[in-house]
DNA sequence: ATGAAAGCGCTAACAT
DNA sequence: ATGTTAGCGCTTTCAT
């Protein structure tokens, strides 16, 4: 079996306290003693039992990340950034998938499995504003996304309304007037879809362009296939438009594919803009103009904020809202104003 | 602070053993006692301290998954499948990213951070055959991929040679004779690239088609951009071919984009086949014909095999090699023989 | 500078 | 059917 402090102590002829001192870099250890202990550690291949250490210290050095589904590129890229940021801070990440299911999300929040971790970074999808009370949990929590606001926990998210407005204005500046939407959510109030819709309408209003419900494509999920299906439905009902705002990149890519199949040229006949700036947005044909919403910053900020709360040892301080900056990434599917047509 | 067994016992007026019995569904507890204890548990909001339980039992209920990078779609989809399979088995997954760096991979194998888990599913990329000894670790380990064979651990992987041969034969059956490769690795012996290359050559040999180094595109990484760059290099040096075998889907998609930019039609001028069957292969234009290598089966098998080893409590039994079945997924970028040209 | 010993919260062997 | 108690391996007072 694995060696313990006692084994090392016995071999080095000291007490376990001394071994512990050596391991934890306690300064007052005689050089000669330290060397003997270090020798014993190497000889026995001793490595500390983290579970025991955790029990004693009440910390595990692990944080949990709960997201809907890793096979969605957006969340995969987010998780990659969170894990990298956590590693830099010496923490390790346990990933849970909720499938965006409200019940699973709520269950997860109270799951004792979380006891394995010091805190949680939580990206809800099924829960909504009325579930805000479930976020009042007895451990450090950072919430991502826009399903829930004014909760009792720290919140890191993006400027959806502003960014969506900027995306729409970008299309308008490029001379487009009939801008279709792909990915609207029927009746939603606070989700990403609702906020991006709001930004879209603000831009139209500001430009004096009337809102036309005929060119709004609704969908439930935001996968590639939904983008394709929604665009097909728009075309089938004879909707006319010269631009498309996909509420995320995968929707935009799915929609773009259907547009091209139908014989329309992108961007000549229809300009397309997405949202998320996924890696693959660079490699589609044409490459996808999109909104870069600052995922990296979100990931780093979420980790830093969570670790701060953990280090703060449950001292209550008011929940913070942190907003990432965005920018429009100009690519081929919607060239900048000067280059249009 | 969180309630403990003692608090519950005191409130219920029983000993901690009885509380423990209730929690662990030990049968011999009087119904009335059980009820009292359950009441106390609810009242105090007691949840067991998993760290303490782990220290006692020597198990954590968590497994580690080490992959190069979650932002690579293949690994994201693999991780999604592993986490789902683990959850079904009641285990939780800690994800580590190695960046495919040999030193980090080796370091990770001996990292005490793994003590937080019961075992490891490891997908090396930087390590190679000569590092096989590092796989001899004192905890349950399952290795994925084809960097290392005949190691001391269970190994779950795919039939690379056969699948690559089948992919090449599929193109040949479609009437193609000059089949370019995108993603070969210079001088590699046992990696995925080498194995797929071997399958490619076997297919050529069987069909009596001479091997032409001129149409082999080398690269180091397998990202989208490498596919694009490699294809550009092939075109720049005037290579002529009527088909492309991308050693993975992202390479194939990157290459396909460059082909189309250069004015070549896919599949009419050049047929393209990939490998991995990523979700996005369905949504490219044209959709990508590819090899489905059985990732789901690999994930499920890896988890099951690891949990078996963990349950087996370190009893040595010979390492097993498990191979997933593959199949060709016929899509537009390389239509089946009957439909060609 | 080092040692002895308590205890983190739990499980399980043993006792009643 | 339930209680007592000894650890799991570590950190950490408190002594010396």
Rg (CA), chain A: 26
SS3 readout for B80-132? HHHHHHHHHCCCEEEEEECCCCHHHHHHHHHCHHHHHCCCEEECCCCCCHHHH
Among residues B61, B58, B53, the alpha carbon closest in space to that of B23 is found at B53
Kindly state the average pLDDT of the residues B316-321.
88
On chain A, the residues whose CB falls within 8 A of the CB of B68 are none
> A52 lies in a domain?
no
DSSP string spanning A20-73? Answer: HHHHTT-S---HHHHHHHHHHHHHHT----HHHHHHHHS--SEEEEEES-TTSH
Give B18 CA → C15 C1' in Å: 15
Of A51, A60, A279, the CB nearest to B71: A279
Are both A130 and A30 inside the same structural domain?
no
Give A17 CA → D13 C1' in Å: 12
Structure tokens at A138: 């007895």
Q: Are A298 and A157 in contact (CB under 8 A)?
A: yes
> A53 lies in a domain?
no
pLDDT over 90, % of chain B: 67
Per-chain mean pLDDT for chain B = 92
Of B55, B71, B285, the CB nearest to A77: B71
Per-chain mean pLDDT for chain A = 92
Per-residue pLDDT of B279-306, as tens digits, reads 889 988 899 999 999 999 999 999 999 9
Q: How far apart are CA B170 and CA B336, in angstroms?
A: 7
Are both B88 and B113 inside the same structural domain?
yes
> B51 lies in a domain?
no
On chain A, the residues whose CB falls within 8 A of the CB of B2 are 138
CB atoms inside a 10 Å sphere around CB B252: 31
CA distances from B338 to A216, B49, B172 (A): 41, 63, 12
> B301 lies in a domain?
yes
Q: Measured CA to C1', what is the nucleotide nearest A56?
A: C8
**Predicted TM-score of the model (pTM):** 0.92
B33 touches strand D (CB under 7 A): yes
B2 touches strand C (CB under 7 A): yes
Work out whether the CA dihedral A330, B68, B185, B330 comes out positive or negative.
negative
CATH value at residue A78: 3.40.50.2300
Are residues B112 and A50, on separate chains, in Cβ contact within 8 Å? yes
Residue with tokens 């030193």: B103
Strand-pair category, B154-158 with B321-324: parallel
Structure tokens at A136: 């009042």
Which pLDDT score is estimated for A3? 84
Are residues B97 and A87, on separate chains, in Cβ contact within 8 Å? yes
Are both A170 and A142 inside the same structural domain?
no
Confidence of residue B3 (pLDDT cuts 50, 70, 90): confident
Q: Measured CA to C1', what is the nucleotide nearest A6?
A: D9
Residue with tokens 């001379």: A175
What is the largest distance, in Å, between two alpha-carbon atoms of chain B?
Answer: 86
Report the first-to-last Cα separation within chain B, whole angstroms: 73
3-class SS at B50? helix
Kindly state the average pLDDT of the residues A49-61.
87
Are both A166 and A264 inside the same structural domain?
yes
Which pLDDT score is estimated for B36? 85
Are both A301 and A289 inside the same structural domain?
no
Confidence of residue A339 (pLDDT cuts 50, 70, 90): low
Q: Is B315's pLDDT higher than 50? A: yes
Q: How many Cα neighbours within 13 Å face the side chain of B149?
A: 11
Bases of strand C lying below 7 A from some protein CB: 1-5, 7-13
Are residues B83 and A97, on separate chains, in Cβ contact within 8 Å? yes
Q: Measured CA to C1', what is the nucleotide nearest A55?
A: C8
3-class SS at B283? coil
Among residues B208, B182, B184, the alpha carbon closest in space to that of B197 is found at B184
Q: How far apart are CA A294 and CA A292, in angstroms?
A: 6
> B56 lies in a domain?
no
> B52 lies in a domain?
no
> A51 lies in a domain?
no
Kindly state the average pLDDT of the residues A167-188.
95
Are both B195 and B335 inside the same structural domain?
yes
Q: Domain count of chain B?
A: 3
Burial readout B54-90 (b: 16 or more C-beta within 10 A, e: otherwise): bbeeebbbbbbbbbbbbbbbbbbbbbbbbbbbbbeee
Locate all alpha helices (DSSP H) within B25-97, ordered by sequence. 31-44, 50-57, 73-88
On chain B, the residues whose CB falls within 8 A of the CB of A62 are 94, 116
Are both B26 and B83 inside the same structural domain?
no
Q: How many Cα neighbours within 13 Å face the side chain of A23?
A: 19
Torsion of CA A276, A277, A278, A279, to 10 degrees: -170
Are both A102 and A241 inside the same structural domain?
no
Q: How far apart are CA A241 and CA B172, in angstroms?
A: 43
B305: containing domain: 62-157+295-324
* Residue A183 φ then ψ, to 5°: 115, 10
Are both A193 and A310 inside the same structural domain?
no
> B93 lies in a domain?
yes
Are both A37 and A176 inside the same structural domain?
no
| Nucleotide C12, nearest residue via CA and C1' | B17
Per-residue pLDDT of B147-163, as tens digits, reads 888 889 999 999 999 99
Q: How far apart are CA A140 and CA B136, in angstroms?
A: 38
Which pLDDT score is estimated for A168? 98
| Nucleotide C3, nearest residue via CA and C1' | A15
3-class SS at B321? strand
CA distance A278 to chain B (A): 10
Residue with tokens 């269950």: A107
Contacts of residue B336, defined as CB under 8 A and 6 or more positions apart, other chains included, come to B170, B174, B330
A30 touches strand C (CB under 7 A): yes
Are both A23 and A88 inside the same structural domain?
no
Are both A274 and A190 inside the same structural domain?
yes
Per-residue pLDDT of B26-44, as tens digits, reads 777 888 888 888 888 888 8
* Residue B53 φ then ψ, to 5°: -60, -40
Which pLDDT score is estimated for A314? 66
């Amino acid at each position: 079996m694995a060696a313990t402090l006692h084994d090392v102590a016995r071999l080095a002829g000291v007490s376990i306290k001394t071994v512990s001192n050596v391991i934890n870099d306690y300064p007052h250890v005689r050089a000669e003693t330290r060397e003997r202990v270090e020798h014993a550690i190497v000889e026995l291949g001793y490595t500390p039992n983290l579970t025991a250490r955790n029990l004693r210290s009440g910390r595990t050095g692990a944080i949990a990340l709960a997201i809907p589904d890793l096979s969605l590129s957006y969340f995969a890229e987010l998780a990659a950034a969170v894990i990298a940021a956590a590693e830099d801070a010496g923490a390790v990440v346990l990933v849970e998938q909720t499938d965006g299911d409200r019940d699973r999300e709520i269950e997860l929040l109270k799951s004792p499995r979380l006891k394995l971790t010091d805190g949680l970074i939580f990206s809800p999808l099924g829960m909504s504003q009325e579930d805000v009370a479930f976020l009042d949990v007895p451990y450090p929590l950072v919430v991502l996304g826009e399903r829930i606001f004014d909760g009792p926990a720290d919140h890191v998210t993006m400027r959806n309304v502003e960014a969506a407005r900027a995306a729409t204005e970008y299309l308008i500046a490029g001379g487009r007037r009939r801008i279709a939407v792909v990915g609207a959510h029927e009746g939603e109030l606070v989700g990403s879809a609702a906020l991006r819709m709001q930004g879209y309408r603000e831009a139209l209003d500001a430009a004096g362009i009337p809102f036309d419900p005929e060119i709004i494509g609704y969908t439930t999920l935001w996968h590639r296939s939904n983008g394709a299906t929604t665009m097909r439905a728009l075309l089938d009902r004879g909707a006319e438009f010269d631009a498309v705002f996909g509420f995320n990149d995968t929707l935009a890519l799915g929609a773009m594919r259907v547009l091209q199949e139908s014989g329309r040229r992108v961007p000549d006949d229809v300009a397309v803009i997405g949202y998320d700036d996924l890696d693959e947005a660079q490699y589609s044909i044409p490459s996808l103009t999109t909104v870069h919403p600052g995922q990296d910053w979100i990931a780093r900020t979420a980790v830093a904020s969570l670790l701060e709360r953990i280090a703060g040892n449950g001292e209550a301080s008011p929940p913070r809202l942190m907003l990432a900056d965005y920018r429009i990434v100009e690519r081929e599917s919607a060239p900048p104003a000067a280059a249009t047509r």
